[in-house]
């Protein structure tokens, strides 16, 4: 075999171990009894170390160099199956990126990070409902220290700033400089825009909240029906409950979780639809490149674009809400004007600053992400001590949205990300929201029948376009290149602003 072919075989085995770890993570969040945490930590740490040892083998470095030299010498003119066509070149690029990240850390740091992440996450699972930041602070401080150590090591290996090195794991090629520029533009746009939206809302009668309770079993049944319309295949996926909604598993076995509030069915329902967007992306990734790096998502901004395109763009559109309203009314036995489509549309697009990110409307949502981006950059730089996080969080919420969390459960304890070691992830949510608006606009222009189909609860025309232009592309292109391929231009924040203006002030 050539060096490249040898690498393909090795990475296939490596990625099989990593997706196995992903299923173990899902089980830990959705099914595992709390007493299983120490054993699960050992299992996941062992998998992390096995993958690290495999990538750190000097033979992998030699194979990468040989494959790159061969590709440079022959380009795409080589004969036979070993020719490095665009997919194989992109695969080799991703192999090198993964190798750089992994080999920047020594085995001791990999082990310490894995164990501390698992311990901190399990402590957070108890601290969040108890509203007890002090309980998780020691573990959190220990984890941040290790994350900063890893960031410094990766910065040296990638020749990037420490925060950019962390960001590159979730958004290849991303930089704090560009994100800060985009977010600064949003921070300048949103306050005045939010004021105008709230003024307009005040001139209208407030929407009526349908009376509950809404039994969790009935919420789940409605969610499953709508998931089927999106295209979710229950022979290749599951819906379960967890403390924090997420989508995990693998393309052939996608795991979605949500959490139910029997006083508010919309929260869980929109959460399920959000995660269904993630699931459809996973299912649509190129099967021929399964278990190869190029067969993965282009990055988390692209992934979040798919979840937010379904939840925010399609499912808050008047066409889809008109379809959903009678189904919701029937599911809960509702009667009266509160269940009319017009009222439910007003509820699902109502703008009101709130404390919880996952429940935020799309006008105030970017403020939640801007806050988290600023705070995590400060913590990685050493400018914010973990013990001061609650106060800094509350000050930031007050500055950005004019509200101050009364307790940490509604503030810095609400998200799992930092407590399980995901630093550099948060910016991709708003980058994804912008990309979602851009992709949805392009899809509707290319396939004019999409809105009418959504009015029937049929996502097939939208998903067919996304399959061709986004899902099937895998990691062939990074986010900007993917957007240019699909829409004709790189990420353009003005399209997102135009979407918000049309929906809320049009």
Q: How far apart are CA 413 and CA 344, in angstroms?
A: 30
CA gap 235, 359 in Å, rounded: 29
Residues 6+ apart with CB under 8 A from 501: 193
86-103 and 162-170 helices cross at what angle (nearest 10)?
Answer: 130
Residue 427 CA: distances (Å) to CA of 38, 186, 198, 453: 31, 13, 26, 32
Distance CA(397)–CA(405), nearest Å, equals: 8
Helix, strand and coil percent figures for the chain, each rounded to 5 = 70, 5, 25
| Spatial distance between the Cα atoms of 425 and 202, rounded to a whole number of angstroms | 35
Which tokens hold the place of 331? 């599911």
Phi, psi of 258 (to 5 degrees): -145, 180
| Number of other residues whose CB lies within 10 A of the CB of residue 80 | 6
Cβ neighbourhood burial of 277 (10 Å; 0-12, 13-18, 19+): buried
The first and second tokens of residue 209, run together, are 């909240």
DSSP state of 254: E
Which residues lie below 8 Å from residue 442, measured CB to CB, with a gap of 6+?
A: 469, 486, 487, 488
Angle between helix 318-332 and helix 216-230 axes, rounded to 10 deg: 150
Order across the sheet with 253-258: list the strands. Answer: 237-241, 253-258, 246-250
Q: Is 34 exposed, middle or buried (0-12, 13-18, 19+ CB in 10 A)?
A: exposed
What one-character-per-residue DSSP string does 111-123 give? HHHHHHHHHHHHH
Out of 275, 304, 340, 362, which one is annotated catalytic?
Answer: 275
Cβ count near 255 (within 10 Å): 25
> What is d(CA 283, CA 466) in angstroms, rounded to the nearest whole number?
12
User: Residue 178, class by beta-carbon neighbours within 10 Å (0-12 exposed, 13-18 middle, 19+ buried)?
Assistant: middle
The token pair at 335 is: 């009667």
H or E stretch covering 248: strand 246-250
Residue with tokens 């819906």: 239
- Phi, psi (5° rounding) for residue 237? -175, 170
Residue 275 annotated in active site:
yes
* Phi, psi for 457 (deg, rounded to 5): 75, 20
Residues carrying an active site annotation = 275
């Amino acid at each position: 075999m050539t060096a490249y072919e040898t690498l393909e075989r090795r990475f296939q085995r490596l990625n099989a171990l990593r997706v196995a770890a992903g299923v173990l993570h899902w089980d830990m969040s959705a099914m595992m009894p709390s007493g299983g945490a120490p054993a699960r930590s050992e299992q996941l740490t062992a998998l992390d170390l096995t993958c690290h040892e495999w990538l750190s083998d000097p033979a992998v470095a030699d194979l990468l160099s040989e494959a790159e030299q061969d590709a440079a010498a022959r380009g795409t003119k080589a004969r036979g199956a070993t020719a490095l066509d665009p997919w194989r070149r992109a695969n080799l690029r991703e192999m090198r990126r993964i190798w750089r990240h992994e080999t920047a850390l020594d085995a001791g740091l990999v082990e310490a990070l894995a164990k501390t992440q698992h311990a901190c996450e399990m402590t957070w699972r108890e601290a969040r409902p108890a509203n007890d930041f002090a309980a998780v602070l020691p573990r959190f401080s220990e984890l941040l220290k290790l994350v900063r150590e890893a960031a410094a090591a990766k910065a040296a290996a990638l020749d990037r700033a420490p925060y950019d090195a962390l960001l590159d794991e979730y958004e290849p090629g991303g930089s704090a400089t560009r994100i800060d520029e985009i977010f600064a533009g949003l921070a300048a746009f949103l306050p005045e825009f939010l004021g105008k939206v709230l003024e307009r809302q005040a001139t209208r009668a407030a929407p009526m909240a349908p009376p509950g309770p809404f039994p969790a079993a009935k919420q789940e049944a409605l969610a499953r029906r709508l998931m089927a319309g999106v295209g979710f295949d229950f022979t290749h996926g599951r819906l379960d409950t967890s403390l924090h909604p997420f989508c995990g598993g693998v393309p052939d076995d996608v795991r979605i979780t949500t959490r139910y509030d029997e006083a508010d069915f919309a929260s869980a329902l929109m959460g399920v639809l959000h995660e269904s967007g993630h699931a459809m992306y996973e299912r649509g990734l190129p099967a021929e490149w399964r278990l190869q790096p190029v067969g993965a998502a282009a990055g988390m901004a692209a992934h979040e674009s798919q979840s937010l395109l379904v939840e925010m763009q399609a499912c808050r559109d008047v066409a889809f809400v008109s379809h959903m309203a009678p189904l919701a009314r029937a599911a809960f036995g509702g009667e009266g004007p509160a269940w009319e489509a017009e009222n439910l549309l007003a509820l699902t697009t109502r703008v009101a600053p709130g404390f919880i990110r996952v429940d935020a409307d799309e006008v105030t949502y970017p403020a939640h992400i801007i806050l988290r981006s600023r705070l995590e950059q400060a913590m990685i730089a050493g400018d914010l001590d973990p013990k001061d996080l609650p106060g800094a969080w509350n000050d930031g919420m007050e500055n950005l949205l004019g509200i101050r969390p009364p307790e940490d459960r509604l503030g810095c304890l609400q998200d799992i990300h930092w407590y399980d070691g995901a630093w550099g992830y948060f910016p991709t949510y708003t980058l994804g929201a912008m990309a979602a608006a851009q992709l949805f606009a392009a899809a509707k222009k290319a396939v004019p029948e999409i809105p009418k189909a959504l009015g029937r609860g049929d996502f097939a025309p939208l998903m067919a376009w996304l399959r061709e232009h986004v899902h099937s592309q895998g990691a062939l292109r990074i986010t900007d290149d993917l957007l240019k391929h699909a829409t004709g231009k790189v990420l353009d924040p003005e399209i997102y602003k135009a979407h918000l203006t049309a929906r809320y002030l049009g």
